[in-house]
Amino acid sequence: MLDRRLALLAPLAFALMAAAPVKKRAPAPRPATPAYPAPSKAALPDLVRVALETEAGRIVVQVDVKRAPASATNFVRYAETKRFDGTVFYRAMHLKWGEQPNGLIQAGTRGDPKRNLPPIAHEPTDQTGILHKAGTLSMARYAPGTATGDFSIMVSDQPGLDAQPDSADPEAKAGYAAFGQVIEGMDVVRAIFAAPISETEGEGIMRGQILAKPVRIITARRVVDPAPAP
């Protein structure tokens, strides 16, 4: 008899539980958005080194503040304010002509409004004299004057990205703004370039150029040269 009563009460208990108001759980707190400091306005030396610690290894670059002040200073400010930390190398553009490997890799903030600083002035190569050679850093952009927090590293010479002042094509005439050079870690650059490409990611020209597994930039920090010996 007791078993039967328990059998009858059990459904009732579940019914009461179902009818009771369910307390809503408070939503899990979202991770705090990093509060990036305002960039410094302090003058920079003519040449500045920045170390990119990536999942694939260390890349050290030297940017030319003297010849490309807007682009080089912009890159340093992103590093100093930690805006590159946690961003990724997401693109590897493979060119099928010429000596292989041929192309570039690209990284940066990808238009993130929380990270981006204002766009910078375009600095064409015919004014700076910095050409797109293997290991050169160059600003990614849409139209000239729209570059913010994305940059490319040349895996091989890319003269087609240099300014062509005699061209009738405005894009070719402007070219892209080169501003520095890899001085350590080209093996890491080539390893990122050789990483697998996604078959589905990317639209338009970017289709077939997006890394299947983007390579994270853990930190980007200015390398301060040691003081000269007395």
The residue to which tokens 């890799």 are assigned: 105
76 lies in some domain: yes
Q: For residue 122, give the 3-state DSSP assignment.
A: coil
Write out the residue range of the structural domain in which residue 158 sits: 47-223
Give the tens place of pLDDT for each residue, 213-227: 999 999 999 998 755
- Let me know if residue 42 belongs to a domain: no
CA dist., res. 57 & res. 39, Å (int): 27
What CATH number should be reported for the domain holding residue 214?
2.40.100.10
The pTM of this model reads 0.84
Strands 210-223 and 47-54, bridge-based pairing: antiparallel
Instruction: Give CA separation, 65 vs 16, 181, 223, in Å.
Output: 73, 12, 15
pLDDT tier at 229, thresholds 50, 70, 90 = low
The tens digit of pLDDT for each residue in 28-67 reads 665 555 689 999 999 999 999 999 999 999 999 999 999 9
